[in-house]
Structure 1
Amino acid sequence: MGRRPKPITLAAVLFFLAAAIAPLFIPSWATLVALILAKSIVVLGIILLLQAGQVSFGHAMFFACGAYAAAFWGKYVGGGDILLYLLLGAVSSTVFGLIVGLFVVRCREIFFGMLNLAFSMVLWSLLEKMFSYTNGADGIRVARPHLLGMAFTPETFQYVVLYVSLLIAIVAFLGVQRHLDSPLGHMLRAIKSNETRLEYLGTSARRVLLVGYVFSAFLGGIGGALVAIIQQIATPEFGFWTKSGEFVFIAILGGGAHAFGAFAGAAMFEAVRFYAAAHLANAWQLILGVVLIVIILYAPGGLIGLRQRGKRAKQGAQ
């Protein structure tokens, strides 16, 4: 007999299928779904760090790094390809993550989070103040790039970005899940449960956390480059602390125990914001806040944990 697929894996497959098909019937969803996928990639990095019990309150710096890498290329070199922008975003954020990571992996818990926040606010200040290079708060426009030499109309381009985002999101999801199931992933979890025992086994906890941190920075840069391409602009707001809070919010909302939590949380967050902002322009933050309070009080494992708890209750009733 073949092994039954895990429920969460099945949910992921259904989610990706819906992301690929639904915008074909509802064109207005193409950009929304692309944003959900792009932000999910960033949140995957947050979930990666949560396995070690560490929360980054400054992860938006890698998001901004990826976005501005694409924007600077377009502004100072001119033109560009989607794949080139993604490569620039990934490389710049990975290098930046390695530099910052050498400092932050020395800290744990609140000190880890606050040091990340400090680095993020330094980057935000530079993006705000260096007006001659970054245009300050106005940001830098990102001209619509081509893909493999092919140019597209705005209507077609939204689908091109959607399916590029979908492909990258699937690869990122599988990569993070594979990492969490690998020895490095188990060692990452050991930092949360018993870091001292990990050190006694001859493994450097700092090195394990640094690998996870750089991986999360890599994901943040790709997500940032995608959002810059989708919205066709990069602004200092991308690196502000509220953006970092948004990513942490999404991770908690979806559930940090599984990589799919990033997609469940991002879908809920963006859907509520999209529809609430359209009908209740001044109250969408209130609605999201209430949703998060309910999740924390009644489903601390997030949407994924709520689904799993419901399944266990159903099995117990049987």
Structure 2
Amino acid sequence: MLVRLAPWLIAGLALALGLLFPWLKTPLIIGLSYGFAALGVGMLIRAGQVSFGHAGFTCLSGYALVAISRTWPQADGVLLLAAGAVAGLLGGAIVGPFMARYRGIFFGMLNLALSMVLFAVLGKFYNFTGGTDGLRLERPPFFGQVLERAAYETWLLVLCALLVVAVCALVRRFYASPTGQALGAIKSNEVRLEYLGISARWIFYKGYIASAVLCGFSGGMFALVQGMVTPEMGYWVRSGEYVFIAVLGGTLQPVGAFLGAIAFEFLKLFAASVLTGAWQLVIGTVLLVLIFLAPAGLVAWLVRLDNRRLQRQGN
């Protein structure tokens, strides 16, 4: 019950905090946008594979938004966000067949290599990409209305909160589907999956595309709230943050990615204000403590509470 209500609670809490404290809107949107990418990374972790390059898909999505916005200045923000997801889908569909052939450290390093190639290309072709300075994304209309910054951020937060609820529901159904179950079986026994006549490579390819789409959502949302894109969106450090968030929140349930993302974003803000030059030390310490207290992530506590409630009802 708690696990099913958690996305609604996160969405409601984000909206309430954003309306009560307007300065929190941007951190909340950024945190939730990281959650989409972490959910994509966590989807692959459920299959036993860790990607250190999925920030490349968020970066690709962000630059796609800028290209579409400059070609079609009147493009609605909702359409741009959908275009970001499509950019992630196309990117995953193109490199997915190659990535689906590899496992373990080879899979992780190949993803890292591709994301760093994209990072280098975006930094070098200054005339097209703006180089390391990036490109500015003009504020698009929302639902046909040209909004001021405050109203724009409010609508963006509302859209992000609704997407959290919808995506968690869809991914939960995906995990319960035959494809989702087979994706998890790749981690436990890929050979047995093949003996059952199920192509592990094909299943993993579909999971890889789904994770790329989620990263596309993340990149689109991040670009819309920041108003610009830079190659740093695809740097390996950002990919590492997505892995960190996925581990912090846990992969047992989709909502874990958003729990981890919000916790990570506000922990980073707090640590940067207290220890400006050593905020990474605080985050690393928190991760080590969490590994000992909750190896399955923050969402494991919700799952444990749900299980206890069911046991009491059974008795």
CA deviations 1:167-187 (Å, max 9, x no partner) are: 222211111111001111110
- For 1:115-194, what aligned pairs fall within 5 Å after superposition? 115-194=110-189
Select 1:53's aligned residue among 32, 48, 54: 48
Q: Secondary structure of the equivalent of 2:188?
A: helix
1:3 is aligned to none
Distance in 2, matches of 1:308 and 1:161, equals 30
Give the partner amino acid of 2:202. R
- For 1:271-286, what aligned pairs fall within 5 Å after superposition? 271-286=266-281
1:17 is aligned to 12
Give the partner amino acid of 2:105. I
- For 1:125-274, what aligned pairs fall within 5 Å after superposition? 125-274=120-269
Give the partner amino acid of 2:153. Q
Is the contact between residue 30 and residue 162 of structure 1 (CA under 8 Å) also seen in structure 2? yes
CA deviations 1:223-279 (Å, max 9, x no partner) are: 101100001110000011111000000000111221111011001100111222233
Distance in 2, matches of 1:79 and 1:233, equals 17
1:65 is aligned to 60
Structure 1 residues 144-153 or 79-88, which shifts more? 79-88
Question: 1:308: how far off?
Answer: 4.4
Question: 1:116: how far off?
Answer: 0.7
Distance in 2, matches of 1:12 and 1:222, equals 17
Distance 1:92 1:313, change over 3 A: closer
2:99 is aligned to 104
Is the contact between residue 58 and residue 215 of structure 2 (CA under 8 Å) also seen in structure 1? yes
Structure 1 residues 266-275 or 74-83, which shifts more? 74-83
Question: 1:10: how far off?
Answer: 2.6
Distance in 2, matches of 1:10 and 1:123, equals 38
1:35 is aligned to 30
Give the partner amino acid of 1:47. G
Q: Secondary structure of the equivalent of 1:52?
A: coil
Is the contact between residue 43 and residue 251 of structure 1 (CA under 8 Å) also seen in structure 2? yes
Q: Secondary structure of the equivalent of 1:144?
A: coil
Give the partner amino acid of 2:260. G
Is the contact between residue 55 and residue 236 of structure 2 (CA under 8 Å) also seen in structure 1? yes
Distance in 2, matches of 1:203 and 1:313, equals 36
Is the contact between residue 86 and residue 213 of structure 2 (CA under 8 Å) also seen in structure 1? yes
TM-score by length of 1: 0.93
Select 1:114's aligned residue among 104, 109, 118: 109
Is the contact between residue 51 and residue 108 of structure 2 (CA under 8 Å) also seen in structure 1? yes
Question: 1:102: how far off?
Answer: 0.7
Is the contact between residue 47 and residue 257 of structure 1 (CA under 8 Å) also seen in structure 2? no
Give the partner amino acid of 2:295. P
Give the partner amino acid of 1:101. G
Distance in 1, matches of 2:85 and 2:304, equals 36
Distance in 2, matches of 1:312 and 1:164, equals 32
Question: 1:157: how far off?
Answer: 0.9
Q: Secondary structure of the equivalent of 1:96?
A: helix
Distance in 1, matches of 2:232 and 2:249, equals 23
Question: 1:28: how far off?
Answer: 1.4
Taking only aligned residues, the RMSD between alpha carbons, in angstroms, comes to 1.9
1:89 is aligned to 84
Give the partner amino acid of 1:16. A
2:75 is aligned to 80
Number of residue equivalences: 312
Question: 1:280: how far off?
Answer: 2.6
Distance in 2, matches of 1:80 and 1:258, equals 34
Is the contact between residue 77 and residue 141 of structure 2 (CA under 8 Å) also seen in structure 1? yes
TM-score by length of 2: 0.94
Distance in 1, matches of 2:69 and 2:52, equals 29
Structure 1: unaligned runs, 5 residues or longer? 1-5
